Chains A and B, each alone.
Chain A
């Protein structure tokens, strides 16, 4: 316990701004990935990356404000992300079975 006390004493030297900046960067990379790639799997991975950026932001604010509800919220976001990935990958397999490709341009029937 004494060891963690000194460790967390050092942790205060990192300002909260660094964590916020890092999550902003990761979120923007996720947005770029969604816009840039045509592979459905990579688009899904970018969504996961964005969820992670938000999780990191919530956890950082929660730790720096000494409020455990933020981390409980991160836990629920992880639960929803797991369910979302299960459904999304099932849909991806179905799309692959019907179109024989994972190109998102094969799914342009709803486009005007």
Chain B
């Protein structure tokens, strides 16, 4: 049962991300990647990482993808794009990616992964455990993320400010 569920979710993730590459319309690419993100969130639930699943949906589906869609609509880009690379370059890109996959996969194939067999019973990914970890062990990085976000916000405003005519 869980095997079927895992293969179903990973099939959705792989298929939607592959379809995302071959869409002419950028709007459909964004929506297909959204489907992929929901499948990944389902995989987080299967890993017993509830906190990550919720945060993943909130951050990616709720913030990042909405931002992408907003920019697409804002720039009025929801039409099919006419420019694309030549077939030779596309083949070269697929070949290069396939070679990278081959290298990664062969190194993974030769590795003996070690894990604790009953670890998924534990409450590793629960909100309680991760809250304790984030507010004790990772307290300083956690607080520093607020500064990161503040600087990102200021950066966005400065980047998109219109140039002053007197400058």
Q: Which A residues lie at the B interface, using CB under 8 A?
A: 4-5, 7-14, 16-22, 24-33, 35-39, 41-42, 44-46, 48-49, 52, 55-56, 59-69, 71-72, 74-76, 78-83, 85-87, 89-94, 96, 101-103, 105
Contacts and interface: CB of A to CB of B under 8 A. Distances in A.
Interface in B66-108: 67-68, 71-72, 74-75, 77, 81, 83-85, 89-90, 92-94, 96-98, 100-101, 104-105, 108
Interface residues of B, number: 84
B13 A28 contact: no
Contact of B72 (A25, A41, A75, A103): A41
A24 B29 CA distance: 21
Nearest to B84: A38
A95 B23 CA distance: 22
A63 B119 contact: yes
Contacts of B159: 87, 90-91, 94
A38 B49 CA distance: 36
Contact of B152 (A7, A19, A86, A102): A86
Nearest to B134: A72
Given A36-B85, A75-B55, A79-B149, A29 B160 contact: no
Given A11-B47, A45-B68, 6 more contacts: A8-B120, A10-B1, A29-B17, A41-B68, A59-B47, A93-B71
B2 A10 contact: yes
8 contacts: A22-B10, A24-B108, A28-B97, A48-B60, A52-B60, A69-B133, A86-B156, A103-B83
B93 to A, nearest CB: 4
A59 B2 contact: no
Contacts of A91: 159
Contacts of B43: 19, 22, 56
A52 B40 contact: yes
A35 B96 contact: yes
Interface string B51-68: 110011001100110011
B148 A80 contact: yes
